[in-house]
Amino acid sequence: MEATYVNIDESYIGKTVAQDIFANTQYPILKKDTVITEEHFHILKVFQISRVLLYKDFGKKVVSIENTKKNIEEEIEKQTFEVQTNAFQVEYEEAVSQYKKEFSNWESGAKIDIVKIRGIILPLIEKILADRSIMFDLNSYSNPKDYMYHHCVATGLISSVIAQKLGFDKGVILQMATAGSLADCGMAKIPARIRDKKQALNQAEFNEIRKHPIYSFQLVKDLPALKEDMKQAIIEHHERLDGSGYPRGLKLDNISVYSQIIAIADTFHAMTSERIYRSKESPFKVVEMIKESEFGKFNIKVVSALMNIVVDLPIGTKVELSNFERGEVMFVNQFSPTRPLVKLLNTGNIIDLSQNRGIYIERILTN
């Protein structure tokens, strides 16, 4: 049917739209075949749309104003969510940029300014504690070039979420966030040629990297704003319960729960992020690996807290699987919470991930 573009005014009320109309939106504010009413005309004015493609034959079906309002309300709600999400990312990336500057200062011999570090990390804490799902986006913000600075900020944030899940009070949660963000500050004392090396480290270089918790402790030991048990957690965050960690090879009760919180936050972010020498892994696969392949190295209560955060999947949650299929969660098995029953969206088939070990949840779909 023939159509023409017109400069829209009130004389075109009753005419029929010949194509979907967008206004920097993902979904149309007016759909094709909508007959323009006074309210539609008002909507076009609100979105500052003056030129519209209309049919020359206007005998088309009317699309109700109620449906149009619903479409616009849904779009506004969606845009509001996206703006809030993007606002966190902008704030987070600014925090990483500020942390990078501080890290450069430490490389040059400057002392840690704890007020600046708290100012960088704490504004993000309230947001991530209120919405733990943000934690799953942290790895997507990171990049191999600036991984170190992303990792420090993210480890602090993840440490705070785990501490909250374990029931610690706000004061401890904030201390954990600060300690987590400073756990790797000693990497500033490792020569950049070793720290940023793309090839495999030789034994001498590897030994130097393993000293970074000591260097971190030396940088934080005189900070009065950081509690002593947090300083202990920083030097111990690479210790493991079975004695396989470093720098002192501590075991079991000699390692504090705060150390283990940072250890798991550090491991989780590292394994879910893209690195120069390794691609990122799914958060669901990583918590399985921490629980199974790293069994005996981590505090089981802290591991369980992380797992409960990751697998807190309401029925109906949309997910993407490792084989690129998309589906929705139908049932969560308490004995294998990372592997629920998923109904595939394209076929309607139900797949039990606990019985299909080669497939796992790659990511949660948020839109």
Stretch 86-92: mean pLDDT, rounded? 84
Determine, yes or no, domain membership for 242.
yes
Residue 45, in any domain of the structure: yes
Together in a domain, 84 and 137: yes
Domain end, chosen from 310, 331, 350, is at: 310
Residue 219 resides in a domain? yes
pLDDT value of position 58: 46
**What is the tens place of the pLDDT at every residue in 190-213?**
998 998 887 888 999 999 999 999
Q: Out of 310, 326, 343, pick the residue that ends a domain.
A: 310
Which pLDDT value is given to residue 44?
78
Phi and psi at residue 348, to the nearest 5°? 85, -5
The reply to whether the predicted model has a pTM over 0.85 is no
Query: Which one has a higher pLDDT value, 56 or 303?
Result: 303
Range of lowest pLDDT (115-129, 214-228, 266-280, 304-318): 266-280
Q: Let me know if residue 203 belongs to a domain.
A: yes
Structure tokens at 307: 């797992």
Pair 146, 286 in one domain: yes
Position 174 scores a pLDDT of: 96
For a pLDDT cut of 70, what percent of the chain falls above it?
Answer: 87
pLDDT category, 62, cuts 50, 70, 90?
very low
Q: Are residues 274 and 354 in the same domain?
A: no
Domain that residue 345 falls in: 318-364
Q: Are 271 and 141 in a shared domain?
A: yes
Name the nearest CA neighbour of 268 among 303, 295, 244, 241: 303
Report pLDDT for 196. Answer: 83
Give the residue from 204, 102, 87, 177 showing the smallest Cα distance to 134.
87
Judgement on whether residues 87 and 188 belong to the same structural domain of the protein: yes
**Position 82 confidence tier, pLDDT thresholds 50, 70, 90:** very low
6-15, 91-100, 225-234, 349-358: least confidently modelled range:
6-15
Lookup result for tokens 């940029």: 97
Average pLDDT over residues 233-247: 95
Assess if residue 69 is contained within a domain: no
User: Concatenated DSSP letters for 284-331?
Assistant: HHHHHHHHHTTTTTS-HHHHHHHHHHHT---TT-EEEETTS-EEEEEE
- What tokens were used for 266? 């550090």
Torsion sign, CA atoms 89, 196, 111, 233: positive
Our measurement of the distance from residue 310's CA atom to the centroid of its chain's CA atoms, rounded to an integer in Å, reads 11
> Stretch 139-165: mean pLDDT, rounded?
93
* Same domain flag for 108 and 134: yes
Lowest mean pLDDT among 90-94, 196-200, 220-224, 252-256: 196-200
Please, are residues 345 and 366 in contact by the beta-carbon 8 Å criterion? Answer: no
Is 264 inside any structural domain? yes
pLDDT at 258: 97
Q: Is residue 171 domain-shared with residue 267, that is, in the same domain?
A: yes
Q: What is the pLDDT of residue 278?
A: 64
pLDDT of residue 168: 97
Assigned domain for 68 exists? no
Q: For position 282, what pLDDT does the model report? A: 82
78 and 156 in a single domain? The answer is yes
pLDDT value of residue 143: 83
Q: Are residues 86 and 160 in the same domain?
A: yes
How many domains does one find in the chain?
A: 3
Whole-number Cα distances in Å, 135 to 140, 233, 236, 283, 347: 10, 22, 23, 10, 31
Look at residue 231 in the predicted model and tell me its pLDDT.
97
User: What pLDDT does 338 receive?
Assistant: 85
pLDDT at 25 over 60: no
As a whole number, mean pLDDT of residues 48-55 equals 83
Query: Where does the chain have alpha helices with state H?
Result: 38-46, 65-107, 114-130, 138-141, 147-165, 170-182, 192-195, 203-209, 212-220, 228-236, 257-272, 283-292, 300-310
Q: Are residues 132 and 211 in the same domain?
A: yes
Whether residues 146 and 278 share a domain: the answer is yes
Contact of 284 with 338, CB cutoff 8 Å? yes
Q: Are 363 and 137 in contact (CB under 8 A)?
A: no
Q: What pLDDT score was predicted for residue 366?
A: 64
Domain match, 158 and 207 both: yes
pLDDT at 59 exceeding the cut of 70: no
Q: Is the pLDDT of residue 81 over 50?
A: no
Position 31 pLDDT exceeds 50: yes
Question: Which one-letter DSSP state was computed for residue 357?
Answer: T
Contact assessment for residue 60 and residue 16, using Cβ atoms and an 8 Å cutoff: yes
Q: 49 pLDDT band (50/70/90 cuts)? A: confident
pLDDT confidence of residue 257: 96
| Residue 63, pLDDT score | 46
**Which segment, 42-46, 50-54, 185-189, 271-275, is predicted with the most confidence on average?**
185-189
| 241 assigned to some structural domain | yes
Query: Is 74's pLDDT higher than 70?
Result: no
Looking at 291, 310, 329, the residue that finishes a domain is 310
- Other Cβ atoms less than 10 A from the Cβ of 281: the count is 19
CATH number where 55 lies: 3.90.105.10
